[in-house]
Amino acid sequence: MQSSSDEESRRSLTVIVLAAGLGTRMKSKTPKVLHEVCGKPMIVWVSEAIEAMEADRTLVVLGDGVESVHQVLPQSTEVVMQERQLGTGDAVRAARAALGDFEGDILVMCGDTPLVTGDALKGLLKMHASSAPACTLMTVELADPSHYGRICRDDDGRVTHIIEHRDATEEQKKIYEVNAGVYVFEAPALWEALAEVGSDNVQGEVYLTDVVGIMAGHGQVVLAHTVEDASVVLGVNSRMDLSVVTGIMQQRILEHHLLSGVTITDPASTYVESGVRIGRDTVIEPMTMLAGDTVVGEDCVIGPSTTMIDSSVDDGSTVVSSHLTGAEIAAGCSVGPFAYLRLGARLEAGAKAGTFVEIKNSLVGEGAKVPHLSYIGDAEIGAGTNIAAGNITANYDGVNKHRTVIGSNVNTGADTVFVAPVEVGDNAMTGAGSVITGDVPAGSLGIARSRQRNIDGYAGRKSPEGRGGDED
């Protein structure tokens, strides 16, 4: 927490996020910055990094076709529209009117750099504050600097200008220090220099990078803050870039869980989204995906080959080779293999949903078992009940859904169909092969099937020989 003296000495800070591009190289109807990285849109990752700055204002520059970006931003974020996409410099110009006579520092960054961290931004601001230059920009050295603007320095190592890759000479393309696209400007100096920027380049655009050369040409100080971790500045311009960034973010997420006491047997085949929480001493087996608002308790075993989306699993439970979406699993439960638990499925402590079982919008009570080959939909199953193989709750009459209520300590026969609405009382039973259409009282046996009748010699009469030979 900052002291009052720190607050008084700190210059006002405004952040401008450039997010007006349509991302044509993504070949997508979705605005580029809304493409997700490990469960979050790229610009949300950027917004979370900005939160560490405690900026006075945050402005996001949007363009036609990307208005939907506003919906995922924090309420405090201000939106500025760029009428035409004429480059990064033009995008910053679009924000000037909203800033009025602001004379503090302006942090400018792009909305397609989801790997940027709050620590990296703090390092940049710290250098800027220490020397109060006209501009401090973030740089990094890349083994393959293609598509990035190169940092040009004089003989004394001072930044003189930035040359875009597309405008660079062959000699300039040999420079490995590149512009990260993150800047801190002293506001009056920014507006003065930006007014001099033209569009005399290959793309006919107004480059924000030209501001650096103009400032240096006027004798103003431009500093470079070099970050060691090149990944923090990786931008996304294509699906290939997106896959690379996602892989790096996934590595960060898995490392976090590993360091928190989670065993991940095969990180290379495991996918865990950013919002997932996992308790210590839980084991995540190979080929497992945990996504959305998923919570896994302690001492669990999840996988192999398991998908969990927006689901919760409490301590000591096991989920093997199954798919869960919107399910709630209490402590000490067993799920799978090959179970499908859909939205509204709830298993209370010690319950079991076994092989080839599908459960939807249903409660399976404490210690109850649905071991195999059953569909349980819109139902309530009491504690200690055993659902035999091949049971079905027929919940849909073609128009409406109806519920099936099965009490505690019930034993159902194999291949029983419960035609809802229907109730089965505590300690009751059903006969195998029954179609239960009416309530079964507590302690009773419900049987609903035809009496078996054997017809002597019938099979022989149906055979070709019994009909007088082969048919033509």
Type and span of the H or E element at 163: strand 159-163
Residue type, 182: V
Q: Using DSSP, state whether 346 is helix, strand or coil.
A: strand
Whole-number Å distance between alpha carbons of 424 and 381? 9
CA-to-CA separations, 384 to 351, 373, 411, 421, 432, in angstroms, rounded: 8, 19, 9, 22, 19
Type and span of the H or E element at 48: helix 42-51
Whole-number Å distance between alpha carbons of 67 and 81? 9
Type and span of the H or E element at 9: helix 4-9
Residue type, 299: D
Residue type, 346: R
Q: Is 372 a catalytic residue?
A: yes
Rg (CA), the chain: 32
Letter string b/e over residues 287-298, b meaning 16 or more CB atoms within 10 A of that residue's CB = ebbbbeebbbbe
Task: Give the alpha-carbon dihedral of 196, 200, 204, 207, to 10 degrees.
Answer: -40
Active-site position among 257, 323, 372, 402: 372
Beta bridge partners of 352: 334, 369
CA-to-CA separations, 263 to 56, 183, 284, in angstroms, rounded: 41, 40, 6
Active site residues: 372
